[in-house]
Amino acid sequence: DADVTQTPRNRITKTGKRIMLECSQTKGHDRMYWYRQDPGLGLRLIYYSFDVKDINKGEISDGYSVSRQAQAKFSLSLESAIPNQTALYFCATSDPGGGTIYFGEGSWLTVV
Amino acid sequence: GESVGLHLPTLSVQEGDNSIINCAYSNSASDYFIWYKQESGKGPQFIIDIRSNMDKRQGQRVTVLLNKTVKHLSLQIAATQPGDSAVYFCADYSGTYKYIFGTGTRLKVLA
């Protein structure tokens, strides 16, 4: 079983719809992240969380929100999806103080 | 600004040859570096890492070299195999939460 699990793996949604991407991890890490990957660009940070009560915006948080339901669960929401949010989204987790960051398998989101 | 970049977008290598993938970083405060492999439709997989107090680290068929003087990182893959075909990218970490990821180099292994 994967250490970082994302659902759904693929989703097509319409402009203006709300969509939630869910993530759970079994590594026992406190730190969790949501990244977006677009062709030709490196991974860009949307939100990160150091623990259940600590949630922070990343470099591209506009149009997104997150919820840290538990140490192992971190979900990403698009309140009103728009086409330029079409991308591959990754959830990740890492040890405190940095160190290796582990990624999920990704969620392909297409907004039409 | 801070950036991690790759010199070549695509690298084609004959099966059995060695591959070298390069990466430049700009933040002199970065103290931890990671190489990832990403296959089509999959998430990035950790390959090897190195801390700034080291110049070289070896794994199974992979070696990472770090040159802090010129802020350069390289990944060497020995005896490249078809299964090595993927996008490889580097990342650097400079504390708190910030990982900076490169855009990636596509490695193509020719039979």
- pLDDT tens digits, B6-22: 444 899 999 999 999 99
Model pLDDT, residue A58? 95
For residue range A32-68, list pLDDT tens digits in order: 999 999 877 889 999 999 999 999 999 999 999 999 9
Q: Do A40 and B103 touch (CB under 8 A)?
A: yes
Residue B41 has pLDDT above 80, yes or no: yes
Q: Return the percentage of chain A with pLDDT > 70, whole number.
A: 97
Cα gap B104→B82, rounded to integer Å: 18
Distance from CA of A81 to the nearest CA of B (A): 22
* Residue in chain A lying closest to B32 (CA): A99
Residue B23 has pLDDT above 60, yes or no: yes
- Most B-contacting residue of A43, A88, A105 (CB-CB within 10 A), to test interface: A43
Is the peptide bond between A83 and the residue preceding it cis, with omega within 30 degrees of 0? no
Q: Average the pLDDT over B19-32 and give the result.
A: 93
Model pLDDT, residue B55? 97
Q: What phi-psi label fits residue B41: left (phi over 0), alpha (psi between -120 and 50 degrees) or beta?
A: left
Q: Do B100 and A90 touch (CB under 8 A)?
A: no
Q: Do B97 and A102 touch (CB under 8 A)?
A: no
Cα gap A79→B66, rounded to integer Å: 43
Residue B34 has pLDDT above 90, yes or no: yes
Model pLDDT, residue B5? 45
Beta bridge partners of B47: none
Q: Does A100 touch chain B (CB under 8 A)?
A: yes
Mean pLDDT across chain A = 94
Identify whether the C-beta of residue A106 lies closer than 8 Å to the C-beta of residue A10: no
Q: Does A33 touch chain B (CB under 8 A)?
A: yes
For residue range A99-109, list pLDDT tens digits in order: 899 999 999 99
Q: Do A100 and B34 touch (CB under 8 A)?
A: yes
Model pLDDT, residue B88? 96
Cα gap B89→B104, rounded to integer Å: 4
Q: Do A48 and B99 touch (CB under 8 A)?
A: no
Q: Quick one: pLDDT band at residue A31, thresholds 50, 70, 90? A: very high
For residue range B45-96, list pLDDT tens digits in order: 999 999 999 999 999 999 999 999 999 999 999 999 999 999 999 999 987 7
Distance from CA of A106 to the nearest CA of B (A): 6
Model pLDDT, residue A1? 59
User: Which residue numbers of B have CB closer than 8 Å to A's CBs?
Assistant: 4, 32, 34, 36, 41-46, 49, 89, 91, 93, 95-104
Q: Does A39 touch chain B (CB under 8 A)?
A: no
Distance from CA of A76 to the nearest CA of B (A): 17
Is A33 strand, coil or helix? strand
Residue B97 has pLDDT above 80, yes or no: no
Residue A96 has pLDDT above 80, yes or no: no
Beta bridge partners of A90: A35
